[in-house]
Copies of this chain bind each other. A is one copy, B any other.
Amino acid sequence: MNQEKSCIIQHFSHYCSLTKEEKQLLNSLEDSPTEIKANSLLWEMGDPANEFCTLKSGWAYSYRHLENGDRQILEVFLPGDIIGLREFAFAQRLESVRMISDGVICHFPHKRMLDLFQQSLTLTSVLFAISSRQQALLTERLVNLARRSARQKMAHFLHEMYLRLRQTSDDISGQFRLPLSQEQLADILGLSPVHVSRTFSALSEDGLVFRDRHHVTIPNLKALAAEGEFDDCYLTDNVRPLRDHSS
């Protein structure tokens, strides 16, 4: 197939084993890889929406601005993720998307969704499953934002990021790079940057998380999970591989 393993194929393969034809179809969708600089805007709320993107490398986030100048980050995208899936039903972007680091994205016009729907029942199901998973992440973040203390929010978020990173990179044994400023963390967690700093200190004092610049160490994953009431069922357990009749 392709020398450099397509990351969208890798992503889809998490859900279901794919036939050669399906892989080819997916490959053809990921056809225009574009390099993109850290901190640059993919699109802004209100822009016309007629494609989504797959993130081949780098990190990105979607966010919304509020009238008082606050900003809420909605999702953090990692390599392999699909960006803008949510806006399939809309003519305009509902949220802005910005790169965190340098990266490569591929464009995927909404129109071609219909090709995918027509040509493969399996891929249709998988795409639906991916959308479901994104919703589950969002729901979890909602609960996190609405109901938990600053400590719990931080603990939960760090745990989630650790698990998501471990799913693609092979084991990283309690350590990872988190290329987010404390201001960005604040915008994710619904806190002030100042309080993010304090919360990090507090977690550190209790030996739950250590951090040096953007390098995070989690000495005891279970302890962190307990602190953040983290339950990974929305991330891992139950992702069900749906199968085509014909496969």
Q: Which A residues fall within an 8 A CB radius of B?
A: 15, 64, 66-67, 70, 72, 74, 85-92, 94-95, 113-114, 117-118, 121, 124-125, 128-136, 138-139, 141-143, 145-148, 190, 229, 233-234, 237-240, 242, 244-245
**Can you list 22 A-B contacts (CB < 8 A)?**
A64-B143, A66-B229, A70-B147, A72-B142, A72-B143, A89-B128, A89-B133, A90-B136, A90-B238, A94-B136, A94-B234, A114-B121, A114-B245, A117-B124, A117-B125, A128-B131, A131-B131, A145-B145, A145-B190, A146-B146, A146-B190, A147-B190
Residue of B nearest to A243 (CB): B114
A146 CB contact (under 8 Å) in B95, B113, B121, B145: B145
Evaluate contact between B135 and A240: CB separation under 8 angstroms: no
Evaluate contact between A139 and B89: CB separation under 8 angstroms: no
Q: Which residues of B contact A89 (CB under 8 A)?
A: 15, 128-130, 132-133, 136, 238-240, 242
A92/B146 contact (C-beta < 8 A), A86-B139, A139-B86, A139-B138 known = no
Q: Apart from A85-B132, A91-B240, what 16 extra A-B contacts exist at CB < 8 Å?
A: A64-B139, A64-B143, A72-B142, A72-B143, A72-B146, A89-B238, A90-B132, A90-B234, A90-B238, A91-B237, A94-B139, A94-B233, A118-B121, A131-B132, A138-B138, A147-B190
Q: Which 9 A-B pairs have the closest CB atoms?
A: A89-B129, A89-B132, A146-B190, A90-B238, A91-B238, A145-B146, A86-B135, A142-B142, A88-B132
Evaluate contact between A92 and B238: CB separation under 8 angstroms: yes
Evaluate contact between B117 and A117: CB separation under 8 angstroms: yes
Copy number in the complex reads 2
* CA of A147 to CA of B70, assembled, Å: 8
Evaluate contact between A229 and B128: CB separation under 8 angstroms: no
For the residues of A in contact with B, the DSSP-based class is helix
Evaluate contact between B132 and A87: CB separation under 8 angstroms: yes
Q: Which residues of B contact A135 (CB under 8 A)?
A: 86, 131, 134-135, 138
Q: Which residues of B contact A64 (CB under 8 A)?
A: 139, 143
* CA of A66 to CA of B131, assembled, Å: 25
* CA of A76 to CA of B222, assembled, Å: 34
Residue of B nearest to A91 (CB): B238
Residue of B nearest to A133 (CB): B89
* CA of A134 to CA of B87, assembled, Å: 11
